[in-house]
Homo-oligomer: A and B are copies of this chain.
Amino acid sequence: MSEHKVTIQEIADMAGVSKSTVSRYLNQGYISEEKAARIREVIRATGYKANFFAKRLKMKESKLVGVVLPRMDSVTVGKLLTGIGRIFEPRGYQGLLLSSQLSVDKELANIRNLAQQGVDGIIVDSVGITERHVQLARSLDVPIVFTGQQHADVHWLKLDDYAAGRLMGAYLRQMGHAHAVFLGVSERDKAVGGDRKRGFLDAFQEGRTGEALVDFVETGFDFLSAYGCGPALEQHMAGGATVVVCATDNIALGVLRYFHELRVRVPEDVSVTGFGGYDVSAVVYPALTTVQFDYDLVGMKTAQYLLDVLSGTDEPVGELPLHLIERESVRRLGSDEAAPVESFHALA
């Protein structure tokens, strides 16, 4: 059971060489084929593995990267992690994961914690980058790449929420909608609450002869919260709104449920859209028209970015693609044969 942890000294003795020779065998080279063979054999027999901590104490790099997440149980986080792993795993990096539970303080503490552990770099899927983040990043000597949110004074990489909003705004305008209600989240979430909404607003209003109306309703990220906004939504529909633009697919799902219970038909009576492109959004009915985010790719790009700053090649990364997925939840308005929908599959 408790196999004595074999050390480099022991295998050196067994092979009749010095530990430096074994070390050389393990790392660079520079040894005779004869001794190499002996060492190889002993190592195989004993199942020797270099002590991780001793090694890291000597070497500068730990091959450990920290990943701090806003929460663990979210579809987007899962995809992000998959992408990150896809890059790190083949390069021998291991991930130390910490959850911030949606708390800025915890996020900061986690970063500090990770830095102390001696990780080579940190990826932070942030809930919001504050001045304290900037300070901390500056004071730490371990490189940090942020995603989810952005800030001029740190390394960051995220998909363009403003562009996503624009994509949806332009699409709905072309579908003949002129009065929308935007069911969004708090502006404190700069990316989802701010950029996404603003992008929608700008593109939805853009280039109209008449004026467009956009009402706002604020909700949380969960189904229940969105569902609870139902009555407010009805008010705005009575006021003439023809589409509910939800800040996330999850929010849209809550809205869909509310409408279903009230026998409000989607998209016949009102259109509904989301953002995110979760798998489940394609299987509900009506299937959700949404802007799809490739979180897997975001994870890969972010991880690659961190690797780049680690190796000094700190060059800007490319854009992240955004796709509008037309499904069943939006109705085309207006009797005239509206112009064909332009290609929304290009980046806005």
Chain A positions near chain B (C-beta within 8 angstroms): 1-3, 5, 47, 49-54, 56-57, 62, 71-75, 77-79, 81-82, 85, 89, 94-99, 116-118, 138-139, 141, 223, 227, 253-254, 256-257, 260-261, 279-280, 282-285, 296
Contact = CB atoms under 8 A, between A and B. Distances in A.
Contacts of A75: 73, 75, 78
Number of copies: 2
B79 A73 contact: yes
Given A3-B141, A5-B141, A95-B96, 9 more contacts: A47-B139, A52-B117, A57-B57, A71-B82, A72-B85, A73-B78, A85-B99, A223-B279, A257-B284
B52 A54 contact: no
A226 to B, nearest CB: 9
A138 B223 contact: no
Given A78-B74, A85-B72, A99-B85, A51 B118 contact: yes
B284 A284 contact: yes
A75 B227 CA distance: 21
Contact of A118 (B53, B73, B98): B53
6 contacts: A1-B141, A5-B141, A53-B53, A72-B78, A72-B82, A94-B96
